[in-house]
Structure 1
Amino acid sequence: MIYLDYQATTPLAPQARAAMLPLMEAAFGNPHSPHRMGREARAAVELARDRVAAPFGPGGRLVFTSGATEALNWAIKGIAAPLRATRPRIVTTAIEHAAVLDTVAWLATQGHEVIVLPVSAAGIVDLDAARAAIDGRTALVAAMLVNNEIGTIQPIAALGAMARDAGALMLCDAVQGYGRVPLPVEACDMIALSAHKIHGPKGIGALWLRDGVAPAPLLHGGGQELGQRSGTLAPALCVGFGVAAQLMSARTEADAGHVARLFDRARAAFAGWTVNGGVDRRYPGNLNVRNDGLDVGRLMAEVRDVAFSAGSACASGSGRPSHVLEAIGLTPAQAKSSIRLGFGRYTTVEELDRALSAILAAAERQKEWA
């Protein structure tokens, strides 16, 4: 099968897998135990932490979590809930991941005021609306760096500056952007990450916290992670994350060039289709396109040897239309005629060409039989 669904998950890097194996075999110690096996596991965890945190520089700490969903829930609830009486407002955007939107929706039922900012047809947040919404009653501003469905890059630096001026904190969901586009660290107070989006293992993520920022715990127990997050860490997952992060840093330019070439090739192949979202402010590893009238469900059934998406993986099977495509102004019919292709480090030109030929041929057959 040709894999073109990099926004859903990425192939595990061979180097990450090789680094993980010893910690799942002989070196299986609990990193919180004081004996030699525990200390060795702890050392491996701390090296991984340093590798993942390297792009952030000094002035913060990185806490491992079970994934970005936990990191985002912890950041949002842990900051907003204690401030509900004095700063009840949470500001976010209409194209955030469900881990953010569903969390703030739940907080709204608990007495918080939630402002969801609109975006343009290009998929970029309305900064005038943001400026009007972020005020002295705001506890938190939450926005993603790179959108998981349409790949657009948000002006995090501008949002972070507004948050700081208002005395609020800035949370950035950098799951799709970490290692791929510059991280706006200076503008942020908290940044959520996920290993399996950068060729690391599933089941582990992280929350970077600026010094002095301490969200209330989401999980209570032993406080194993720097006294802030409870639960026994999985050293193998931490190590896999660390090696994947190290590779992303070492291969930034090579990966970016490869992905840009794949994007140009794919966009040219879909010349008669419409790109969803803007092209100028976009991570090129994501191509979301539509062909009005296309039956995407039928298309995916016909092109079974290519893994691609009709929307975000998190919404697949839920019956819910894409809230991102709706937010940029697409009708339900247009959203249902859209596909998302995601490619990256391990996608070859030959694979991409074969996949594009198969998708386009199936789409053309639909038109002929219509």
Structure 2
Amino acid sequence: MTQQGDSTPLLDEARSLRTALDEVAARRREVLDRYDVLSLALMLIGVSVFASVAAFSFSSGQTGRGQAFLVLTLLAVPFVLFAAWTSVGRFLVLSRRAARMEQRLVTLPSPVEEAVTTIEAALPAYVVRRGLGQGGCGVVYLAEHRRAGWSRAVKLLTETALPDSQERFLREAQVMESLDHPHIARVYEYVENCIVMEYLPGGTAVARAGQGPGVVCAIGLGVASALAAAHQRNVVHRDIKPGNLLFADDGTVKVTDFGIAKLLAAGATGEPASVLALTPGYAAPEQLNADDITARTDLYGLAATLYRLLTGSTPPLPGPDGAPRADLAGIPPRIAAVLARSLDAYPERRHADAQAFALDLARAAARDMHPGWLDASGVPFRGDPEIRAAASR
């Protein structure tokens, strides 16, 4: 078993790159400091002199002398080329190599050493493999269990996070751990500033944009099913968007990033929204106005997300009368009607809950397409059997 503090692939790469960069920099200085450049300059001057003398000799009728200096010129050229390669050429090669290594260092999550050390100190059973990206108030890394070999995503709270990030980070871990649903990313444990989560290698829903109404509606059913489960536990996500919908390797969609979720008291009608806890284009009007949020706030975000996946753009805000102003002309009519209802500015005019949204969308998709559309979409649905049945009618 590798002990805590031992090197890891990600840490080794960062250190080896820095060592190699130092070596390349030293060699570049050596090339410049040595006599190579000076000798090259002297050789170039010598060749120029030989060539000039040869030309002058030929022009003045001294053929023998001209031929002699021409031979000297031709003999000197290979030495000049060799000197050029060993000085200028070598310097350029080393410079390109250094640039490539510097670019790789830039692409590594920063600061790599500190992050890897922090994660492996808190989670000695895991070895960090590589960075996955930014998520919420932390940076996400791929880690592998040293003995079992399974892969996990580990979110690390960044030192530069906002002052309230520690509280949000802990809330996210607690909320996700309490939600057990096939369309919600699992949290296995959280220690100090690390959350160990399910690794979802299939990318985000952004990559599914433009793949047709079948795929998009199947994603919508999975997310709505997940939201229904969360809302039953009085949890409102508040940031539903394509970037927070990830896919398992079998194509199952999962809701992630509950970092700004709100836990509503049982029986409460709403809680004031924070204008900071939103993503423009997907945030409901009540979030933008810092009004009360409810479970229906998530339905607006889901409808906006599906609209984005179908059309390639986010919907405009509703008009003064609250009715959506989104262009639904290119969307199958019954599916468009479902989205329009939950894109309304007034929460009370949206679907009653996520389950109602899912059932309405399932029936609309079956009528606009065909009863077997869900299986044909290639996006597995593992939610409520009632929703699956509605999609087949």
* TM-score normalised by the chain length of structure 2: 0.24
Greater relative contact order (Cα 8 A, min sep 6): structure 1 or 2?
Answer: 1
TM-score by structure 1 length?
0.25
